[in-house]
């Protein structure tokens, strides 16, 4: 019983004392924000046909559907072209700032609003990658995904150094963002713009907004450090729970995809991969598709291998070596799909979801390599001293502190 109690206490301490997976959550933040940003930029000339007033899915049809499913989309607050341009520009800006990790808490909320606004406006424009992005945009709000590889982490490090020198550190940008977004949220609520929406998203928006105020009060007005420590523990628990949900979601995606494939006759006889290679819609490189499908043995191996990897992956998570091998195979598979079938954004979304399982040691080495590559350029040009590579903080209180973090 003593051993069991000790194990339970260690587990509780691990979950509450730190936000786990700082590098993994940073990678999925960068991955999903980059995927959405690149998609929005690529479709910039076609935005009116996809999600705007010129699309085949008209305003009236969207209004009828949203009246039934109660989906959240601020695009339906007005049918004006100027409002559409504003929401589209906000989606691009929030994606770019989330990618950089600037005021990550606020940007993660705006990123979610941008994703839901466009995807719920035209529900028939997406694919499997959009569904993954849809879910992950909500999960990211609950994570502390700016612990490393972000402007917030750099700002927090500079603030700690300033406090060590005895300097007073202030923050005007965070409270300003909080005030502006609070006014917008209040105006939308009082105007009844959220009355028809699903209750989850409006409640989430108000909860995050109120939590930011509570965080600021605990850090600036509390006489002792206990309130801030308590809020930090709660934030760690929420982060770790969201990280677990993200991992479970990725496993569920692969498990369901694999088991559904098993039931298909083309997957059973080993010819399923051949057919999409010869569909005109999925053949941006016909000669490459012909080359890959020229060998029946290769088609059969790829078909059976795809099913095997997808079905087996959730069961290999407790074996690090086998998991890493299958993870490399899945990432390679999605990279091939991006090129051969012309589905780059679907593949990027799936690779970003896969990244949550990448080993921390690999991600830290990747970060060090990137830092050294970045530092070589200024040293050659101007002889400046390179900045050391960024590492995970010893405590989760080092980042995501204050407004917008």
Dist CA 220 CA 403 (whole Å): 12
Q: How far is CA 318 from the centre of its chain?
A: 24
The pLDDT, as a whole number, for residue 383 is 47
What Cα–Cα distance (Å) separates residue 391 from each residue in 65, 68, 147, 153?
47, 48, 9, 10
Both tokens of 187, joined, read 């105006």
Please give the pLDDT value at position 225.
Answer: 75
In this prediction, the residues of the chain whose per-residue pLDDT falls under 70 are 1, 195-198, 222, 378-405
Give the model's pLDDT for residue 197.
53
The pLDDT assigned to 265 comes to 92
Q: Please, where are the H alpha helices in 101-225?
A: 104-121, 128-140, 151-164, 173-190, 200-220
In angstroms, rounded to a whole number, what is the distance separating the alpha carbons of residues 25 and 353?
10
Q: What local confidence, expressed as pLDDT, does residue 338 receive?
A: 93
Question: Which parts of 177-300 are beta strand (E)?
Answer: none
pLDDT at 196: 58
Q: What is the pTM of this model?
A: 0.90
pLDDT given at position 378:
59
């Amino acid at each position: 019983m003593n051993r069991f109690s000790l194990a339970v206490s260690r587990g509780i301490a691990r979950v509450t004392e730190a936000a786990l997976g700082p590098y993994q959550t940073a990678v999925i933040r960068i991955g999903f924000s980059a995927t959405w940003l690149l998609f929005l930029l690529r479709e910039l000339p076609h935005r009116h046909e996809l999600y705007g007033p010129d699309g085949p899915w008209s305003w009236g049809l969207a209004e009828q559907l949203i009246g039934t499913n109660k989906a959240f989309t601020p695009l339906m607050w007005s049918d004006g072209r100027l409002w559409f341009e504003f929401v589209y520009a906000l989606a691009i800006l929030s994606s770019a700032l989330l990618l950089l990790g600037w005021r990550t808490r606020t940007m993660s909320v705006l990123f979610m609003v941008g994703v839901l606004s466009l995807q719920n406006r035209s529900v028939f424009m997406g694919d499997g990658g959009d569904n993954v992005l849809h879910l992950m945009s909500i999960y990211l709000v609950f994570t502390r995904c700016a612990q490393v590889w972000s402007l917030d982490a750099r700002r927090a490090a500079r603030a700690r150094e300033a406090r060590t020198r005895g300097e007073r550190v202030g923050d005007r940008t965070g409270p300003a963002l909080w005030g502006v977004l609070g006014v917008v949220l209040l105006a939308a609520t009082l105007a009844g713009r959220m009355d028809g929406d699903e209750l989850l998203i409006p409640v989430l928006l108000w909860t995050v907004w109120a939590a930011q105020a509570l965080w600021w009060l605990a850090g600036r007005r509390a006489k002792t450090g206990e309130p801030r420590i308590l809020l930090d523990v709660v934030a760690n628990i929420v982060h770790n729970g969201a990280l677990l949900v993200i991992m479970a979601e990725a496993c569920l995606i692969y498990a369901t995809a694999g088991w559904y494939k098993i039931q298909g006759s083309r997957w059973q006889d080993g010819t399923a991969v051949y057919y999409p290679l010869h569909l005109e819609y999925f053949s941006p490189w016909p000669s490459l598709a012909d080359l890959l499908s020229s060998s029946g043995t290769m088609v059969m191996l790829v078909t059976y291998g795809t099913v095997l990897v997808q079905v087996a992956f959730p069961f290999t998570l407790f074996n690090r070596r086998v998991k890493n091998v299958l993870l490399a195979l899945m990432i390679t598979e999605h990279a091939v799909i991006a090129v051969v079938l012309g589905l780059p954004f679907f593949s990027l979304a799936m690779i970003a979801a896969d990244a949550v399982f990448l080993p921390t040691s690999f991600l830290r080495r990747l970060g060090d390599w990137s830092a050294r590559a970045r530092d070589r350029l200024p040293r050659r040009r101007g002889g400046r001293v390179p900045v050391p590579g960024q590492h995970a903080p010893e405590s989760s209180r080092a980042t995501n502190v204050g407004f917008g973090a």
